[in-house]
Amino acid sequence: DAMVIQNPRYQVTQFGKPVTLSCSQTLNHNVMYWYQQKSSQAPKLLFHYYDKDFNNEADTPDNFQSRRPNTSFCFLDIRSPGLGDAAMYLCATSRDARGRGLQGTQYFGPGTRLTVL
Amino acid sequence: AQTVTQSQPEMSVQEAETVTLSCTYDTSESDYYLFWYKQPPSRQMILVIRQEAYKQQNATENRFSVNFQKAAKSFSLKISDSQLGDAAMYFCAYCRVPDMRFGAGTRLTVKP
């Protein structure tokens, strides 16, 4: 089945130690997103890739970076995690194509729960 | 900036009954999409229903239907014949591709 996969599902890191979260998709969607979701809050968009174009939200800290080496994969790098970065990180994809259909619908992965010690 | 407001932090419904979750949004755009997503304790976001702003007809998906009032910028979700498996956090979302904004969510409890 076509899907969005996130690895690992649970990640523990130490304060200040760089960490990378992975997302892959078999949907062949051209847009990929990273969200941060803290407990009992709505997902907060960090950035997205529209094809190869990187789009950063204005309030996303510089500590967060992303890479998209190809259509299928996208990585979230946290250069120096702080205690406040502990959260669920959600990856999503969508297809932006001219015309109607499923345009705009985002499909989410299961998330990676990050713990910072 | 577009904002999405869910005024009900928590809702409760008896099994087999009907419940309506409210959502309002603010936008100056005419072409956009609206969604309801469900997030159970497993935390996976699951699409419940989708509405294109250019369509006047309200979307339906089995027991789930919406009341879309474009002029009022209102997008409520009705769940009929509620089941225990419907218990989850429900997020309303506004999308103008590729940007999506979520409301704060409504936690739905289903009582047996």
Confidence of residue A99 (pLDDT cuts 50, 70, 90): very low
Residue B6 has pLDDT above 50, yes or no: yes
DSSP class of B86: G
State which residue of chain B sits closest to A110, comparing Cα positions: B44
Across the interface, of B45, B97, B104, the residue whose CB is closest to A96 is B97
The pLDDT value given to residue A69:
95
CB pair distance less than 8 Å for A104 and B50: yes
Token pair in block for residue A85 = 């970065």
Percent of chain A clearing pLDDT 90 (strictly above)? 74
Span B85-95, average pLDDT? 95
State which residue of chain B sits closest to A88, comparing Cα positions: B43
Interchain CB contact of A5 with B (< 8 Å): no
Residue B82 backbone phi and psi in degrees, to 5: -55, 140
CB pair distance less than 8 Å for B45 and A48: no
The pLDDT value given to residue A100:
47
Number of A to B CB contacts under 8 A, please give it: 60
Cβ–Cβ under 8 Å, residues A50 and A66 = no
Span A5-34, average pLDDT? 94
